[in-house]
Structure formats: C-alpha cells, structure tokens
Copies of this chain bind each other. A is one copy, B any other.
Amino acid sequence: MDQRVLKQFVTLAESLHFGRAAEASHVSPSTLSRSIQRLEDELGIALFERNNRRVSLTHAGNLFLEYARHSLADWDAIRNTLMAASGELHGEVSMYCSVTASYSFLFDILARVRQRHPRIEIKLHTGDPEDAVSRVLAGTEDIAIAARPDNLHAGLAFRLIDVSPLVFIVAHDHELVTANPGQTGWSDWPMILSERGLARSRVDRWFRTIGQQPNIYAQVAGNEAIVSMVSLGFGVGVVPRIVLENSPLSDKVATLDVEPGLAPYEVGLVTQEKKLASPLIAAFWAALK
C-alpha cells in the first residue's frame, strides 16, 4: 500500500513546483515527474497544467486533491487504529537536525525513543540548522531538533531539550584572551560570525544594544567552522556552548565573559501541532522527561 505517490501529489499540488515538492518528498525531480506522469496516465486525465516554467492544477487535479487528502487521512486513521490494537507503536518518522545537533542531542533522544518503542523507525536527514523550522512547517519533516526561534511560528509545537548559552570564544593562546573588550571597545576585535540564523541575529542585536559596530572578519556557515577559525587565532566567535562541548577543538579556545550576556539557545524538538495527534510523533514528546 504505497501512499507515497499520493503524498507526492499533494505536496506538488501545494507547492506547484516540482523541484521543491521533490525535495520535500525526498526524491529527485525526475522521480516526482514520472510519478505524476504515471498517476495521470492511470487516471487517464491530466492533473497539472504545466510547462517548464509554471505548474497549476487542472480541474481534475483539484478533484483529485480532495480525494487524495481524504484518502491519506483515512490511511492514517486505519494505521493508528491498528497500531492501537497492536499495542505497540511502529512506523516511520522523519527527523531533521544539524550535524551538530546529531552529535549533541540525537543519541539521547533516540535512545529513549528506541527503548520505549523499538519498532519506530527514524529516517534522519541532516543539514543546515536554519532550515529546520521551515522544513517542519512545510511538512518535509515530521520533527526537527532546532533552536527555538524568537517568534515561534503559529501552529508549531516546541519542546525544550536543553538550554545552552551563546558564548564568545577566542583562541586559548590569543593575545586578547586576557584583555577586556568591554572597556577597550570592540572595533579592534575581528569577529567570526554565522552568515545567518538565530546566533547571528542575536549577535547583531547585542552589538546594537551596546551601541557598537562589530568588526566582521569572516562570515561562516556552520558553528564548527567558527570554532576552527577561532582556534586558529583568526578572531572572536560566538557559538552555543553545546557546540564547544562537543568539539574536538574545545581545549584550544577560551570563553570570554561579556556583559550583557546573550540570550541562550533553547534547543528542543519542533513539530507541527497537528502532528501531535499522531501517536508516533507524540511518542517523541512523551519520551523526553
């Protein structure tokens, strides 16, 4: 009983973009293209009007979309019913997290979930942590490990796993390690910052708060890269402490005390609220103490 094609269809119908729908479905665009072709072929009618530049639903596509949603809901319902009848949770959950998070938190989470529900299978995808929330929101992933954004999107549920302060770091043997930038000003301190994301916006805000301009030496993608550069003495970086704790380079850097402190990272699980109705997803929530 392969509901994948139906899911793919709904995803495409919602995004009207083969590339994005394919990514959300974890298949290649060509696969999605052919899946839809097969479906249309079987139904004997086109579901999408499309050229290389624009995709839209046909009338038939709209009718079928309604069917597809119901059908998927029915499938979920029977699955949940049978799961309840079997007394054991089982099935597949897709999860997204950064490589960093996979080192720091994944093991504990999975160990707990697996201990309680050994037959839940987890499809793990890793990537840029900044994509986590949007992927959950798009339904590309069921669950993500992510830092709680300042404004949590409506319809998203968040469950705290750990709080980790954002810390300023500098090479252990750097000349500035004993200086006090709070007095001398920050303009001499070459900063190594995230290109984007929560850490970056917090740092930017922090500099505005103290009324100074950061002297940005490098903008880097990935906390690990920041630690590397800092440990090599290129300047001052800002990363969540949890990254440091899992870094092989942690003994090469020192943390600086700054005032005021940065708001800490709140790391946790994110999912769509409505997905908590699924016993599988709910199991993750319950597995965390």
Which residues of chain A in 256-287 are interfacial with respect to chain B, using CB atoms and an 8 Å cutoff? none
Task: Say which one of A48-56, A63-71, A133-141 lies at the interface with B.
Answer: A63-71
Which residues of chain A in 70-99 are interfacial with respect to chain B, using CB atoms and an 8 Å cutoff? 70-71, 74-75, 77-79, 81-83, 85-86, 88, 90-91
Let me know if A88 and B5 touch, CB within 8 A.
no
Q: Name A2's contact: one of B2, B43, B60 (CB within 8 Å).
A: B2
Whether A59 is near chain B, meaning CB under 8 Å from some CB there, is yes
Chain A: interface residue total (CB-CB under 8 A): 30
Whether A229 is near chain B, meaning CB under 8 Å from some CB there, is no
What are 16 inter-chain pairs, A to B, with CB distance below 8 A? A1-B2, A1-B39, A1-B42, A2-B2, A43-B79, A44-B82, A44-B88, A44-B91, A44-B119, A45-B83, A45-B86, A60-B82, A60-B86, A63-B82, A70-B74, A71-B71
Which residues of chain A in 181-230 are interfacial with respect to chain B, using CB atoms and an 8 Å cutoff? none
Let me know if A78 and B64 touch, CB within 8 A.
yes
Whether A22 is near chain B, meaning CB under 8 Å from some CB there, is no
Let me know if B85 and A63 touch, CB within 8 A.
yes
Query: Complex formed: what's the CA distance from A45 to B90 in Å?
Result: 10
Whether A6 is near chain B, meaning CB under 8 Å from some CB there, is yes
Most buried by B among A42, A83, A91: A42
